[in-house]
Structures are given as structure tokens and as C-alpha cells.
Amino acid sequence: MNEPLQEVAFRLRRLPPRRLELLVRLEVRPALHELEPALQFRFSAHGADFRCKPWYRPDVATILLAGVDLFFRGKLEALLPGHHFVTADNVDEPELVICDIARIDPEEVADLYPDIPIVGFTNHADTAGLRRAHAAGFDQVVVKSALQERAPQLIEELLASVE
């Protein structure tokens, strides 16, 4: 971290270059043969119809992250590759909600998404928060370390129970 900052020229649209964006988000750009597009558009008889809403492959779930900080969001994206992560200001209807119990009110989240599976997590010392989330009706309430260890299995079980 002792490296000097380098000035980066913005393009005409005043957006950062794609390479800088990937570096900031710590993503590695996949090779061409590794690409598997999750976002697809429906095609009409006369070519691409870009007015219609994009849809995702059936195995891609829209997961709402409520109260999750950026650092842990990056971990979840690495643990659950291929899923579409959104925040509360997004208009997509989620198929699953993952929330940090220490940062949100569990009753409010349970009231907003009554028919959607909810996974709540917090640190191991917040037993009162774990109890509040369990009482609010969360489908799974786990400590943060357990979510990191079992995230793929836990999420796949909950998504399978929805279908």
C-alpha cells in the first residue's frame, strides 16, 4: 500500500476505464473460453428485441443483500458465483434475502418479504440478535463464520425449497 497513486484518464463519457473498474472491485477478468453469460435477452423473429426485460438462466437466483457491507458482499459473491446480487433500491423481485442482523431490523425484513426465504447472520457474540431474527421468522439464522463455511449448501437448499 506504499505505492504512489497513478492518474487515470477518463474516457469521453467520463467513466473510469474497464480495467480500473475491475481492479477496484478486485475481479479477475475471465478468459474468452470461460465466459458463460448469465444475463441474456429474448430474441424475436426479426433479431434482438432489447425492449423486453432481461432474464437470467434458471440456475441463477436473484439474491437481495440487506445491510451487508461491501467487504462481506465480495465474499458472498465469491462463495456463490453465478447468482445475481441486488440491494434494496433495485426493482428486481428477489428469490432469496440475506441480511446482517446487526445492521437491520429483523421484523421489518420479515414483514417486507413474507413469502421469500430469508437468511440472517451476525457475529457469534450477538445472541440477542440471533434470537430476534429467529422470532421474526427467518428461515435460517446463522453466525457469520458458519455462513462463510456453508453458504453454497445453505443457499441451494433454500432455493430448492422455493421451487
- The per-residue pLDDT for 76 is 92
- The per-residue pLDDT for 68 is 92
Mean pLDDT, the chain, integer:
76
pLDDT tops 70 at residue 130: yes
Secondary structure letter of residue 144 according to DSSP: H
- The per-residue pLDDT for 36 is 52
Tell me the domain boundaries of the chain: 57-162
- Model confidence over 52-107: pLDDT tens digits? 444 445 567 889 999 999 999 999 999 998 888 888 776 668 899 999 999 999 99
- CA 126, CA 56: separation in Å to the nearest integer? 36
Which residues are bridge partners to 56 per DSSP? 39
Which residues have C-beta within 8 Å of that of residue 80, sequence separation ≥ 6? 63, 151, 152, 155
| Contact predicate 144/99, CB 8 Å | no
pLDDT tops 70 at residue 155: yes
- The per-residue pLDDT for 12 is 55
Give φ, ψ of 118 to 5 degrees: -125, 130
What number does CATH give the domain 57-162? 3.40.50.2300
- Model confidence over 110-125: pLDDT tens digits? 999 889 999 999 998 9
Q: Which of 48, 84, 54, 75 is nearest to 159 (CA)?
A: 84
- CA 72, CA 147: separation in Å to the nearest integer? 11
Helix axes 144-162, 70-79, angle to 10 degrees: 60
